[in-house]
Amino acid sequence: MNEKNKTGFGSKFTKWFGRTSDTNLLLTITIVVFFLMYLGAIVFQGQGFLKPQTFFNILNANAALIITSVGLSIVMICGGIDISVGGVVALVSMSCAVYLDFHGGSIIGAIAIAIGIGVVFGVVQGFLVAYLDIQPFIVTLAGMFFARGMTTIVHTAPFNVENEAFVNLKDTRVIVPGFGSYNKLGNYVNAYVEIGVIVAILVVILFFIILRWTKLGRSLYAVGGNAQSALMLGINVRRTRFLSHLICGILAGIAGFVYFMHVGSGSASHASGMEMNAIASSIIGGTMLTGGVGNIIGTFFGVLSLSTIQNIVSSAGLDQAWWTGITIAAMLCIFLVIQSVVISKKKKLLTK
């Protein structure tokens, strides 16, 4: 069957295709798709997309999503799932808002609350999944409803935070030198990102390192790949699963504060659907639902791809609320199919 491809590009590609790992293969697809999309955006929507600030605004608007997606990727690599992250983000925003404005709290205190909430969710969910063997979907589905419910119990009406220290923090712009542009009046405006973006990038780098170089990181991949084998190889499967949920919970807490910094308010409808976006970003980024495959860089590009789509949709004048839902679901579906087709083609290539 491969005689035709003995020489030339075809055979080289086939060889690379067969020998490269699943993770790398999917990552390649993701990055290629993202660049194609961004190119498409530039070509079709022109002007706006050529400005670097547009790109930075994508980061600004999605810093929280990047962080939750990293957390979700980690849980998915380990073979589980967590759909409570959106609810946790909303709960964190509302709790911090109430704390700052009604109890005169400090920024440090708010951050502590954010992380604390994340830890609680992570620990409880992790325990139920890892040590009581309950399906992660049910546990985190309940977690999501619990978080959303608690958000309204903490405070019913949405409101903007007026705490001075916080507003200053929120409005801080971190200048990115060299990427500025001229606005309509001819003045040079610096490109900027919000603090949340810095946090997001630090999270991405940190967990990229953890997943690639630490024992915990490699255990996550092992357990997700084949939990039974991992057990035989001497890995503590329960502890690894527990830690994956704990990490996801903590990251949801951090993302909650980042989100809070971006929107500056508390509301029960915040981060609606964020968990689905995080899952979609992870899958588009090359994380497989079945576990054992995925990487943080891919997830990062997955978020970017998702938001680029949203930008294209809104600048094309389509009703954002509805069209983004459909396009995300379509991308999800396509990527799920691509994943299974690619992986099965690879298997066929090997067994004959």
Residues 270-329 that bind another protein (CB under 8 A): 273, 276, 279-280, 289, 292-293, 319, 321-326, 328-329
Q: How far apart are CA 18 and CA 23, in angstroms?
A: 13
- Tell whether residue 94 is a contact of another protein (CB under 8 A): no
Residue 244 near residue 126, CB atoms below 8 Å:
yes
Minimum Å gap between C-beta 208 and another protein is 13
Nearest to 14 by CA among 348, 301, 282: 348
- The count of other CB atoms within 10 Å of the CB of residue 35 is 13
Distances (CA, A) of 130 to 56, 116, 122, 240, 251: 39, 21, 11, 8, 19
Site for another protein in 122-141 (CB under 8 A): 128, 132-135, 137-139, 141
- Tell whether residue 341 is a contact of another protein (CB under 8 A): no
Task: Give me Rg for the CA atoms of the chain.
Answer: 21
The site map against another protein for 72-91 (x = CB under 8 A) is ---------x----------
- Tell whether residue 158 is a contact of another protein (CB under 8 A): no
Q: Which residue has the tokens 């971006």?
A: 262
Nearer to another protein, 181 or 344 (CB): 344
Nearer to another protein, 199 or 313 (CB): 313
Nearer to another protein, 51 or 239 (CB): 239
Judged by CB under 8 A, which of 153, 202, 205, 206 binds another protein? 153
How large is the angle between the packed helices 136-154 and 85-102, nearest 10 degrees?
20
Near another protein by CB under 8 A, which window of 6-14, 44-52, 229-237, 257-265? 229-237
Judged by CB under 8 A, which of 2, 13, 16, 19 binds another protein? 19
Q: Which residue has the tokens 């809104």?
A: 314
| Amino acid identity at 36 | L
